[in-house]
Amino acid sequence: MKFYDCKTAPSPRRVRIFLAEKGIELDTVQVDLGSGEQFSDAFRKINPDCVVPVLELDNGRCISEVLAICSYLEELHPEPALLGQTAEERAAVLMWNAKVEQQGLWAMADAFRNSSKALANNALPGPDNYAQIPELVERGRTRVARFMRRLDGHFADNEYVAGGFFSLADISTMVTIDFAAWVKIAVPDDAGYLARWYAQVSKRPSASA
């Protein structure tokens, strides 16, 4: 298998942490998003959506989207279980991962992509050009701040995002918080439960992936 990555982008990092947690090593190809390599004819054949990450299987089939890639890898390498071990645990991980994406990661992407000068004509990822909408910057920042407050309350009664075990939902949340630092949004000083969780997961060796 071959993994198409970009060391500076948050979404491929989620897969890298997932791989590190499982001890999986893959042949990796770095895609230079800064120079627009994702829009090249060669990469469009790999993923016409012009985004990373992508996992190319030995038979040539390409799988994109973080959850799809991680689900495939979990099937091949079930331990440690990062998508849950029971039906209830798996449902909790998928539910929270979706909440993190919708309420945190996508909000953060709005704040970043609509304010970055380098993305003036690419406010949305993908092959089509979309102009920035400045009003989405502040809305995105507000949504991220509110999401952090919600997480702080959640961690008052939960060690990890989906309950009592580390999972893909934690990976997605940690990457979102690190991504937020790009536009100078930090964990609030009085969000002690969130700070406890963040310090704990950031110490895992995989966090540096």
pLDDT at res. 4: 98
- Say which residues have a Cβ less than 8 Å from residue 142's Cβ, sequence separation at least 6: none
d(CA 8, CA 32): 9
Q: What's the topology of domain 2-76? A: Glutaredoxin (3.40.30)
**What confidence tier does 124 reach under pLDDT thresholds 50, 70, 90?**
very high
Rounded CA separation 114/121 (Å):
9
- Residues near 10 by Cβ (< 8 Å), separated by ≥ 6? 105, 175, 176, 178, 179
Q: Tell me, what's the pLDDT at 60?
A: 97
What's this model's pTM, rounded to 2 decimal places? 0.97
Lay out the sheet containing 62-64: strands in order across: 27-30, 2-5, 54-56, 62-64
The mean pLDDT value for 133-155 works out to 97
pLDDT at 19: 98
Whole-number pLDDT of residue 77: 98
Q: What percent of the chain has pLDDT over 70?
A: 100
Look over the chain and give the mean of its residue pLDDT values, rounded to a whole number. Answer: 97
Residue 127's pLDDT is 96
**pLDDT, mean of residues 101-118:** 96
At 196, the pLDDT band (50, 70, 90 cuts) reads very high
- Residue 29 has a pLDDT of 98
What is the mean predicted confidence (pLDDT) over 199-205? 98
Q: Which fold has domain 87-208?
A: Glutathione S-transferase Yfyf (Class Pi); Chain A, domain 2 (1.20.1050)
pLDDT tens-digit readout, 158-184 = 999 999 999 999 999 999 999 999 999
The pLDDT assigned to 101 comes to 98
Mean pLDDT, residues 86-91 taken together: 98
Indicate the domain borders of the chain: 2-76, 87-208
Placement of tokens 């910057």 in the chain: 137
Q: Per-residue pLDDT tens for 68-79?
A: 999 999 999 999
